[in-house]
Structure 1
Amino acid sequence: MTDALVIVFVKNIKLGTVKTRLAKTIGDFGAFEVYSELVKITEKATDALTMDKRIYFSNAVVESKWQNDFKTVQNGKDLGERMMNAFKEGFDAGYKKIVLIGSDLPDINSTHITSGLKALETNDVVFGPAEDGGYYLVGLSKLNTDIFTDKPWSQPNLLEVTLQELHSKHISVGTLAVLNDIDTYDDLIVSDFYKSNLKLQEKIVTQKADFLFQEK
């Protein structure tokens, strides 16, 4: 057991349940293809890490993913409660520093994760800000339930509201580089992730055309 833990939140890759905002433009099949690629990137980013990992799936454990790591299912009525429970389980198990990431970041790599853990050496909390006003990484050196309670999830002021509350309570916070997650079609087409993946582009063009045809 290491003193640091990396938690990964993963949605089960099931048609019609992933990247629903993106699916409104390119259809469920297109969103499925995009999210499948993003999960591969996340798995690659965590593969080389030497610290312990816990993978939390949204509905059911997928044994073929993160084959050598601890896997379980998220528990809670909303995102905040699910994240809080995952952190609580980690601290109860004896970990001293914990970071949690999602699985829809095309630019995530192991350096972002290790930087988050390093920031916890001098801060109580660390965030990896997302361009949409949320965050792609949250890290704690001790459990802080306020971060996960009564917050505007999926809103553009999520990080701002959270930081204001932490600063008002004089809790030290570190921040990492800003990254962009993929929530919409506009996010997708401007990303290097999409521009550099010709196979994915071909699939998305086809899926989007099929989707638009069906919508007529």
Structure 2
Amino acid sequence: MNKPKRRAIILFAKDPVCGRVKTRLASLLDEETTLKLYLHFLTAGLSLLESVQGADRFIAVAPPLTSEYFQSNPRLAAFAIFTQEGDDLGQRMRQAFAQCFEDGYERVVIVGADSPSLPVEYVQRALDSDQALTLGPAVDGGYYLIGMGPQRVEIFENVHWGTGSVLSDTGANARREGVEVELLPVWYDVDRPEDLRFLKTHMELSRDSKESAQTLLKFLETLEL
């Protein structure tokens, strides 16, 4: 019998501190409301990871950690939490992948906390894949998910992080490495006011039955968007 390969799913998140999360929503929401929104996003991210099958669950938190959220939340007992390391997102993801592979994982998937409506099926597909590189393209030109095997593909150099060319830059790096990219269906992040309005409309129409989705929708319906 083949031994099942060790798999890891990592949620990349920020410490929920007022004024330091979802700052591009400042023209629409005050800082306190934005923080409440981000806490809902974190809850959705936790629910997503809990729904995934056959993987160890991690949360990688961007420093500095000044709140008590990741220390005092009893729900996080099933998650291993570590601090992101690196000067930009690429360095931080590279380090997270490297640490997991060093620890013996054979498949690692990273998702962000910016896609609270992301279907678990997309994440499970990335975890189950045998492709060297899996990307979940986002409508803003980035990606909401990246999955890799232990081949240590160097794809994070010369990527213009935070711009609409992140996906294409990463794809160009993969081609130079001779690596075929597996693409998941397109999804969306929530960073700007128009993204938040779309999220509300989408959730109203889709009527996701998960508790975290219902709670988020109720919160969105209290906002003047």
TM-score category, normalised to shorter length: 0.7 to 0.9
Counterpart residue identity of residue 19, structure 1: K
Distance 1:156 1:103 in 2: 18
Counterpart residue identity of residue 82, structure 1: R
Alignment of 1:3-14 (within 5 A): 3-14=6-17
Distance 1:85 1:157 in 2: 22
In the TM superposition, what is the alpha-carbon distance from 1:164 to its structure 2 partner? 1.9
Counterpart residue identity of residue 10, structure 2: I
Give the counterpart of 1:130 among 118, 126, 138.
Answer: 138
Who is 2:59 aligned against? 55
Please identify, of 135-144 and 87-96, the stretch whose mean Cα deviation from structure 2 is larger. Answer: 135-144
Mind listing any 5+ residue stretches in structure 2 that lack a counterpart? 208-216
Please identify, of 190-199 and 124-133, the stretch whose mean Cα deviation from structure 2 is larger. Answer: 190-199
Who is 2:210 aligned against? none
Q: In the alignment, is the contact (CA less than 8 A) between 1:131 and 1:178 conserved in 2?
A: yes
Q: 1:103 and 2:113 equivalent?
A: yes
Distance 1:57 1:106 in 2: 17
Who is 1:22 aligned against? 25
- Matched positions, count: 203
In the TM superposition, what is the alpha-carbon distance from 1:125 to its structure 2 partner? 0.4
Alignment of 1:141-152 (within 5 A): 141-144=149-152, 146-152=154-160
Distance 1:86 1:152 in 2: 19
TM-score (norm 1): 0.86
SS in 2 for 1:7: strand
Q: In the alignment, is the contact (CA less than 8 A) between 1:7 and 1:56 conserved in 2?
A: yes
Distance 2:139 2:162 in 1: 12
Please identify, of 5-14 and 44-53, the stretch whose mean Cα deviation from structure 2 is larger. Answer: 44-53
Distance 1:80 1:22 in 2: 24
Distance 1:169 1:68 in 2: 36
Who is 2:81 aligned against? 71
Q: In the alignment, is the contact (CA less than 8 A) between 2:132 and 2:151 conserved in 1?
A: no
Counterpart residue identity of residue 37, structure 1: H
Give the counterpart of 2:128 among 118, 123, 128.
Answer: 118
Distance 2:110 2:62 in 1: 14
SS in 1 for 2:169: helix
Q: In the alignment, is the contact (CA less than 8 A) between 1:46 and 1:109 conserved in 2?
A: no
Q: In the alignment, is the contact (CA less than 8 A) between 2:5 and 2:107 conserved in 1?
A: no
Who is 2:44 aligned against? 41
In the TM superposition, what is the alpha-carbon distance from 1:2 to its structure 2 partner? 5.8
Mind listing any 5+ residue stretches in structure 1 that lack a counterpart? 209-216
Distance 2:154 2:204 in 1: 36
Among the aligned pairs, what percent are the same residue?
26
Distance 1:45 1:131 in 2: 20
Considering only aligned residues, what root-mean-square deviation do their CA atoms show, in Å? 2.0
Distance 2:87 2:153 in 1: 15
TM-score (norm 2): 0.83
Q: In the alignment, is the contact (CA less than 8 A) between 1:194 and 1:200 conserved in 2?
A: no
SS in 1 for 2:170: helix
Distance 1:194 1:143 in 2: 41
Partner deviation per Cα, 1:126-156 (whole Å, 9 max, x = no partner)? 0011110000100111253632222100110
In the TM superposition, what is the alpha-carbon distance from 1:31 to its structure 2 partner? 1.8
Q: In the alignment, is the contact (CA less than 8 A) between 1:2 and 1:52 conserved in 2?
A: no
SS in 1 for 2:20: coil
Give the counterpart of 1:139 among 143, 147, 162.
Answer: 147
Who is 1:87 aligned against? 97
